[in-house]
């Protein structure tokens, strides 16, 4: 496979848009790729995941009517073509394109995202959450030292997350946050390039989660936890 095709696959790989067999195939190709290409692939995955981790939707404006159906029709047309003409890279390039369309339309529609530094009207800030009548704070010790603080407002469906005196992960590892639902479903709440602090907290959309956890993962993050959590903070 040409290097360019492998690099194309970094986008759907980072978005967890590949089925398990295709994901393993990409990882096998990555093992055989030249070191420079492999480094570019991993850097792309890491940057995309870090960007997504910084964005948590508060009030999403629905996409224009018919957009989802139009994207799906385009994907279906491509996937119906002969496999020999449209291999893994070509198929997944469409998945990446579809994801890009959704992101672009979301931005154009005026999606509001959590940014604790922002002061634009209508955006939720850490202070908004802390001042809510239903806001409550939990401080929980982290395995290995330090504490995690979560200030939760169910009214705003959001939490402010910060850490104090928690050591940095090893050089080839990263911290990753997880949200766990009452049925045990786990979803990523962000790959952390640096731990949020009380002065620069992270705002998280909690949804149906009943617990927030932190684990150490391979650089770039994981689609699911690969280690035991260092801390679990109840959200109930």
Q: For the CA atoms of 93, 41, 30, 10, what is the dihedral angle to 10 degrees?
A: -30
pTM above 0.75, yes or no: no
How large is the average pLDDT for residues 40-59?
A: 62
Cβ-contact 13, 23 below 8 angstroms: yes
pLDDT band at residue 107 under the 50/70/90 scheme: very low
CATH of domain 127-234: 2.60.40
Three-class SS of residue 165? Answer: coil
Task: Give Cβ neighbours of residue 132 (< 8 Å, ≥ 6 apart).
Answer: 153, 155, 156
pLDDT of 175 strictly over 80: yes
CATH of domain 3-55: 1.10.10.1320
Domain boundaries, the chain: 3-55, 127-234
- C-alpha distances in angstroms, 213 versus 39, 219, 225? 29, 18, 10
**Tens-place pLDDT, residues 11-36:** 778 776 777 788 888 888 888 888 88
Query: Residue 101 and residue 71: Cα distance in Å, rounded?
Result: 8
Lowest mean pLDDT among 46-55, 89-98, 109-118, 154-163: 109-118
The alpha carbon of residue 213 and the mean position of all alpha carbons in its chain are separated, in whole angstroms, by: 14
**Tens-place pLDDT, residues 137-167:** 999 999 999 999 999 999 999 999 999 999 9
pLDDT of 136 strictly over 70: yes
Lowest mean pLDDT among 66-70, 88-92, 101-105, 149-153: 101-105
């Amino acid at each position: 496979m040409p290097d360019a095709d492998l690099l194309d696959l970094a986008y759907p790989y980072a978005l967890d848009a590949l089925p398990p067999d295709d994901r393993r195939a990409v990882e096998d190709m990555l093992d055989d790729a030249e070191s420079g290409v492999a480094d570019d692939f991993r850097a792309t995955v890491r940057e995309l995941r870090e960007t997504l981790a910084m964005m948590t939707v508060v009030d999403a404006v629905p996409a224009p009517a018919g957009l989802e159906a139009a994207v799906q029709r385009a994907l279906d047309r491509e996937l119906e073509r002969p496999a020999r003409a449209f291999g893994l890279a070509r198929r997944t390039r469409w998945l990446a394109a579809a994801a890009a369309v959704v992101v672009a339309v979301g931005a154009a529609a005026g999606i509001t995202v959590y940014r604790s530094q922002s002061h634009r009207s209508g955006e939720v800030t850490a202070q908004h959450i802390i001042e809510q009548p239903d806001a409550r704070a939990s401080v929980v010790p982290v395995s290995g030292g330090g504490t995690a603080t979560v200030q939760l407002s169910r009214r705003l469906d959001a939490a402010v997350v910060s850490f104090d005196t928690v050591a940095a992960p090893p050089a080839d590892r990263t911290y990753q946050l997880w949200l766990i639902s009452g049925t045990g479903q786990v979803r990523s709440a962000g790959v952390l390039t640096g731990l949020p602090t009380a002065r620069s907290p992270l705002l998280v959309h909690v949804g149906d989660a009943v617990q927030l956890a932190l684990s150490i993962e391979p650089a770039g993050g994981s689609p699911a936890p690969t280690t035991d959590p260092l801390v679990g903070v109840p959200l109930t």
